[in-house]
Structure 1
Amino acid sequence: MAYVNSILQPGESIRAIGKLHWIVFTRAFALLVVGLVVLIYAGGLPQQASRLVQLVGWGIIALAALAFLQAWFVRWITEFAITTHRLIYKRGFLSRYTVEMNMDKVETVNVDQSLLGRLLDYGSIRVLGTGQGIEKLEGMASPIELRNAINGR
C-alpha cells in the first residue's frame, strides 16, 4: 500500500485495505496440474514418444510459471483502500491509473458473488457515486467487509 500511504491527507486514516483474492492464481494452478498430468502420462509411453510428450509437459509448466508471475504482478500493482475521507483505487506499475472518490459522494455499493465466491469469500465490487463511479473491481477478497467499511459499519 505504498501509493495509498503516500497520498494520505492530514487527519485521514485507513479504514480497510482491499486485496485481490488468491483466486487470481487459478489459471496458473490449472496449467501446473495439466503439465504434471502430461509428464506423468509421458512416463508410460515408448521412449521416442515419451520425449516429445515430456517436452510438451515442461512447456505447459513453463506457461504455468508465467501465468503465476502475471497474476502475482497484477495482485502486487493493484491497490484499493478505504480511508476516513475517500476511496482510493490504483492500478499500474510504470504507468498509473487511479480513481478516488470522496466518501460523501458514495451513493451505492454493489457486491456480486457467485456460489464459489461466497464459499471462498471473494467477489466483485462496484461503487457508484454522484456523477461518477469506480469501475467494477473483479476478484476482490472479503467484498462484504469492504462494503461495510465503505458504508461506515
Structure 2
Amino acid sequence: MTYIEESLSSGEKIEALFPLHWFARVPMYLWLVLAIPTLGLTLILALYEYLKLKHLEQGVTNKRVILKRGIISRNTEEMKLQSIETVEIEQGIGGRMFGYGTVKITGRGISDVTFKGIDDPMQVKRDIESVSNPLG
C-alpha cells in the first residue's frame, strides 16, 4: 500500500497519480552504463537513483495535493485544495519537445508543492485545477 493510499482520511479518494517522465530515469541509466568502465563502482549510485524514483509519490485527492519522497525516511509536502492559489508550469525547450516539466502549486502564504520531471505537465495542471475548482 502506498503512502497516499495509507494517508487517506474519511471520505477522501485519489483523483490522479502523477508519473515521472522517462527522462527522470536517465541518471540511473547513466550510472548503469558507467558501471562497465568503473568495474561496477557506480552500481550503488544506480541503485540509489532507482530507489529514490521508486519511493516517490505524487498525486491529488479530492481534498489535497501530495508529494512524498524518501527511501528510508519519509518527507511529505501536502496542500489542501482550498489553499491553492496558482498552478504554474515550467518547461524548457527539451521539456516542450519531449513532454515533461515542473508543476509548481502555490498556496496561501509561503507554501508551495513542486512536482519536478513530471510527465505531461499540462494534464497535471488540468487535473489539479479540475479538482480544486470543480465549477470553473
SS in 1 for 2:66: strand
Match of 2:17 in 1: 17
Question: What is the TM-score with the length of structure 1 in the denominator?
Answer: 0.73
Equivalent positions of 1:108-147 (< 5 A) are 108-147=86-125
Render the CA deviation track for 1:20-66: whole Å, top value 9, x for unaligned.
22212223434555677xxxxxxxxxxxxxxxxxxxx2x16642x33
Give 1 or 2 for the bigger CA radius of gyration: 1
Q: Which protein has the bigger helix share?
A: 1
Match of 2:7 in 1: 7
Match of 2:83 in 1: 105
Aligned residues: 131
SS in 1 for 2:130: coil
- Residues 102 and 118, structure 2, Cα contact 8 Å, conserved in 1: yes
Q: Counterpart of 1:149 in structure 2: which amino acid?
A: D
Q: 1:132 to 1:14 in 2, by over 3 A?
A: farther
Q: Structure 2: which 5+ runs fail to align?
A: 132-136
- Residues 91 and 97, structure 1, Cα contact 8 Å, conserved in 2: yes
Q: Structure 1: which 5+ runs fail to align?
A: 37-56
Distance 1:98 1:32 in 2: 29
Distance 1:18 1:5 in 2: 14
Match of 2:134 in 1: none
1:89 to 56, 59, 67: 67
Distance 1:121 1:127 in 2: 19
Question: What is the TM-score with the length of structure 2 in the denominator?
Answer: 0.81
- Percent sequence identity over matched residues? 29
